[in-house]
Amino acid sequence: MHVFLTGERGIGKSRAAASAAALLGRLCLGFRTAFLAEDHRASALYLFPANADCQSEEARVAAVWSDGRLTASAGAFDVYGAALLREARGHPEALILMDECGHVERNALAFQREILACLDGETPVLGVLRKGQPWHAMIREHPNVRVLEVTARNRDRLPRQIAELIGGRRP
Top-confidence residue, 137 or 59: 137
pTM beyond cutoff 0.85: yes
Whether the bond between 100 and the residue before it is cis, its omega within 30 degrees of 0, is: yes
Over residues 78-98, the pLDDT tens digits come to 999 999 999 999 999 999 999
User: What's the pLDDT score for residue 169?
Assistant: 42
- pLDDT above 70 covers what percent of the chain? 95
Top-confidence residue, 118 or 44: 118
Domains of the chain: 2-166 (3.40.50.300)
User: In angstroms, rounded to a whole number, what is the distance separating the alpha carbons of residues 50 and 124?
Assistant: 14
Report for 39-53, 64-78, 106-120: range of highest mean pLDDT: 106-120
For residue 170, pLDDT over 50 is answered with no
The confidence band for 171, taking pLDDT boundaries of 50, 70 and 90, is very low
DSSP-derived 3-state class of residue 146: strand
User: In angstroms, rounded to a whole number, what is the distance separating the alpha carbons of residues 86 and 89?
Assistant: 5
- pLDDT above 90 covers what percent of the chain? 80
- As a whole number, mean pLDDT of residues 49-67 equals 85
For residue 108, pLDDT over 50 is answered with yes
Top-confidence residue, 131 or 39: 131
The confidence band for 160, taking pLDDT boundaries of 50, 70 and 90, is very high
Which residue type, as a one-letter code, is found at position 39?
D
Mean per-residue pLDDT over the chain, rounded? 92
Q: Is 133 exposed, middle or buried (0-12, 13-18, 19+ CB in 10 A)?
A: middle
Top-confidence residue, 57 or 122: 122
